[in-house]
Structure 1
Amino acid sequence: MPSTMGSTSRDDLSRAGGARAETASGTTDGTTAGSTNGGTTAGTAPPGDVPVRLLDEKGVRHPDPGLDRWLTDVDAGTDDARGALLALYEDMVVARRIDAEATALQRQGELALWPPLQGQEAAQVGSAAALRDDDFVFSSYREHAVARRRGVASVDLLRVWRGVTASGWDPYAVGMATPQVIIGAQALHGVGYALGIQADVERGVVAPGEGGTAAVVAYVGDGAMSQGDVNEAFVFAATWQVPLVLFCQNNQWAISEPVALQSAVPLVRRAWGFGVPGVRVDGNDVLAVLAVTREALHRARTGGGPTFVEAVTYRMGPHTTADDPTRYRDASELDVWAERDPIARLAAYLRAGGLLTGDDEVRVRAAADAVAAELRAGVVAIEDPPPLSVFDHVYAEPHPTVAAERAEHAAYLAGFADTGTTTTGTTTTDTTTSGEGADR
């Protein structure tokens, strides 16, 4: 039976304290200058519509007692705290460098496609840093920084985009499913996995550890909020009070569709309509994202049910490398959001506190370049898998239909081989082996 709704109030999630994300135009909704994002304007937006912020655009830290309690490890002023902050900074810098290298690889014909993440580094790194090893993640195709934080090798991020695998990594090894291309479907997958966690605990299969049970984070974008799957996920999550955080990166554009044309109100309000507590956070403030996600995960782990997080950020690049955003958005938007750059914001905060030195910056840049060089070498060296490996891992167990299709395709491939000769990728060995050792 579904458990009762948690006692968390709307006021708990939409704090009055702390600096709020005001734009250059004076609006408080975190959108571009002059935008109303569903009709909210300065002084009229409900408290929950104003994104929570701890670091302003200049990198100045503003206290918020309600959220600061989730940041004691990074606010402690110790060497460990400095290390944790520098790790957040380095992860963001490396993620952007991987993104740039992957874009270049696609332009040079080494990848079929690439979905850039530039501008969304804080939303991804901050939320991923809140996760435990036993948590599980379901993502879209853009959460590269989340995957890397979970332990996915950089080259494995690009395998699917090179067309040599159907996934890229073992989900159970890193606690993260491979990318979901069907918009919003991962929200339902997240609810299902969270129901499994809940059932295991109720049946005594798994005992909650210190800090509660494992939890699930499902990442979606603003465009996915218009999909039926996401709305169905809200219904199930609220009804069964599952340990789920539905994390929406509102990057303002669903390909060429601006968020203001998708929703007449800020997306966070939709969650409350389903009975799911929601919080809106400045998605370019890595500390606020970290705090909000930690709070939401704690609620999920301790029986408080699901939480919706709307991280207000911006997609600085194209939707994918097949997209030309100059056809539908004004360049002035980029200028406004460039002033809110998440990496520059954190760097300013760290420099002001003497936590980021010139030597640190040189080291981080060198580390990012090394990752990019390793990524390029690894991608170029990827070999094409045996053709029949496409039939591997369709199901967890052997299936007669798949076996028949494998045999049919093997016969088809054999028709291209000369009698007594072999052809790369179509040898007798390739067409008869199971291919279980092939790349995933």
Structure 2
Amino acid sequence: MSPNTTPIVDTEHDLEMVERVLGPDGTRVPNPDLDPFLSDIDDQALLDLHRDMLVLRRIDSEGVALQRQGQLGLWAPCNGQEAAQIGTGRALAAQDFVFPSYREHGVMYTRGAEPGDYVRMWRGEEGAAYDPARIGMAPLQIIIGAQTLHAVGYGIGIQHDGTDEVAVSYFGDGATSQGDVNEAMVFAASFRAPVVFVCQNNHWAISEPVGLQSQYPLAGRAPAFGIPSVRVDGNDVLACLAAMRWALGHARSGKGPAYIEAVTYRMGPHTTADDPKRYRDEAELEQWRRRDPIARLEAYLHAKGLLDQAHHDAVQAEADRVAKEMRAACLGMTTRPPLAVFDGVYAEPHSGLERQRDQYAAYLAAFEEA
């Protein structure tokens, strides 16, 4: 698979340069490259993907609500990117390890995150939102692009261990302008590391459009490093699933890294601290509303006669349950004592750390005396 290298002129033209299996209206589109990776997707699997995306959207809306109510310091919405995250996430094997950015709530969901895992870091209670070993996923990364280097290092470790794991790194279009991402691809290609790079091109790096960063599709950069790539419609959950299966198979078989550019759109703000109305045209937003990834799959399911009230009720109940548990976990969290920040820093007692603890304790005591 290789990307089209025609310059990006506008959104409409851009969307004609992607691989897909579901058209924007939900029509099934034959794709000889991707179809072989979907041969086992039956009706129940389609309904499961639909459920996953709806639950994710509910998780995301609950996160925004909690932040607006002062319960979270920040939240990075993923509305509009459900297909890219659920599709690629459901392709992962249990032994694979993910290195995310800060927006991969859907990937967390596919890895078995618990309701409290989504909010713990954003509430400021713990440095890591969850136990990485339990769900096979590194802590959320705030530094743009840094996780790509971590993934490659992990991938080289996989080679030394001789296992069939794959390291997967998620990042946005803005991260592709960072040195870390390019350096990661150099190392991954040089050492043929089992790494999959997943770029969720949501068209906006905070307030800067992707066209300002690159006049060509981002997937076209990977082959220059010796990494095969595919550019898929990120609002097509089946295309994302198929592309990820291809990339994982490539990396797992010892052929080295692979790269996916999932062309999608961030419907909400960059984070809840952002106001996209200051830099984004409402007409563009409306254009992408008509490409909603959930509505697209629903159109396909309707055509197949698979959607009924029982499925709708079951999915709604599941989404409400997860959101309710997420809120309860958030409100029920107990802030650790200030001095607990020193716990677990070193495996053995450390004189320097003890001195810092004593100094911080004296600083806190000064407030009590006052």
**TM-score range, shorter-chain basis?**
over 0.9
Determine the structure 2 residue equivalent to 1:67. Answer: 34
Task: Name the counterpart of 2:53.
Answer: 92
- Relative to structure 1, is the Cα distance of residues 305 and 137 closer, same or farther in structure 2, using a 3 angstrom cutoff? same
Q: 1:53 is matched with which residue?
A: 20
C-alpha contact 1:28 1:51 (8 A) present in aligned 2: no
Q: Which residue of 2 aligns with 1:331?
A: 282
Residues 203-232 of structure 1 show CA distances to partners (whole Å, capped at 9, x for unaligned) of xxxxx4xxxx11011001000000010010
Question: Once the 2 structures are TM-superposed, how far is the Cα of residue 58 of structure 1 from its aligned partner?
Answer: 1.0
Q: Deviations over 1:57-112 (max 9, x none)?
A: 111111223322211221xxxxxx32222221111101111111110111111111
1:255-303 Cα shifts (integer Å, max 9, x gaps): 0000000112111111111111111000000000000000100010001
Indicate the structure (1 or 2) with the bigger Cα radius of gyration: 1
- Indicate the residue corresponding to 1:161 in structure 2: 122
8 Å Cα contact 1:159-1:165 kept in structure 2:
yes
Q: How many residues align?
A: 369
Q: Work out the CA distance in 2 between the residues paired with 1:130 and 1:287.
A: 10
1:102-113 to structure 2, matched below 5 A, reads: 102-113=63-74
**Contact 2:231–2:261 (Cα < 8 Å) also in 1:** yes
What is the rounded CA distance, in whole Å, between the counterparts of 1:129 and 1:398 in structure 2? Answer: 42
Over 3 Å counting, the alpha-carbon distance change for 1:292 and 1:400 in structure 2 is farther
Report the counterpart of residue 143 of structure 1 in structure 2.
104
Which letter maps to 2:282? A
Unaligned runs of 5+ in 1: 1-11, 16-26, 43-49, 75-80, 202-207, 419-440
Q: Could you give the per-residue CA deviations for residues 118-139 of structure 1, whole angstroms, max 9, x where no partner exists?
A: 0000000000001011000000
**CA gap 1:279/1:385 in 2 versus in 1, 3 angstroms:** same
**Structure 1 consecutive aligned stretches of length 4 or more whose deviation exceeds 2 Å:** 12-15, 27-33, 391-404, 410-418
In 1, the alpha carbon distance for the partners of 2:201 and 2:321 equals 31
- Compute the displacement of 1:14 (Å): 5.3
User: 1 or 2, which has the higher helix percentage?
Assistant: 2
Tell me the TM-score normalised to structure 1 length.
Answer: 0.80
Question: TM-score by structure 2 length?
Answer: 0.95
Is the Cα–Cα contact under 8 Å of residues 99 and 117 in structure 1 kept in the other structure?
yes
The whole-number CA distance in structure 1 between the counterparts of 2:40 and 2:9 is 27
Conserved? CA contact 2:118–2:326, under 8 Å: no
Quote the offset at 1:393 in angstroms: 4.1
* Structure-2 separation of matches of 1:239 and 1:261: 29
Q: Pick which of 333-342 and 376-385 moved more.
A: 376-385
Pairwise CA RMSD of aligned residues? 2.1
Counterparts in 2 of 1:351 and 1:243: CA distance versus 1, 3 Å? same
Of 183, 189, 198 in structure 1, the residue corresponding to residue 150 of structure 2 is 189
Aligned residues of 1:253 and 1:259 also touching (Cα < 8 A): yes
Q: CA deviation at 1:392?
A: 3.1
In the alignment, the residues of structure 2 paired with residue 406 and residue 241 of structure 1 have an alpha-carbon distance, to the nearest angstrom, of 44
Aligned to 1:173: 134
Alpha-carbon separation, structure 1, partners of 2:191 and 2:349? 33
2:238 maps to which residue?
Answer: 287
Q: Of residues 117, 120, 128 in structure 1, which corresponds to 2:78?
A: 117
- Identical columns (%): 56
In 2, the alpha carbon distance for the partners of 1:290 and 1:167 equals: 28
Conserved? CA contact 2:166–2:251, under 8 Å: yes
Segments of 5+ residues of structure 2 without an aligned counterpart are: none
Contact 1:32–1:336 (CA under 8 A) maintained in structure 2? no
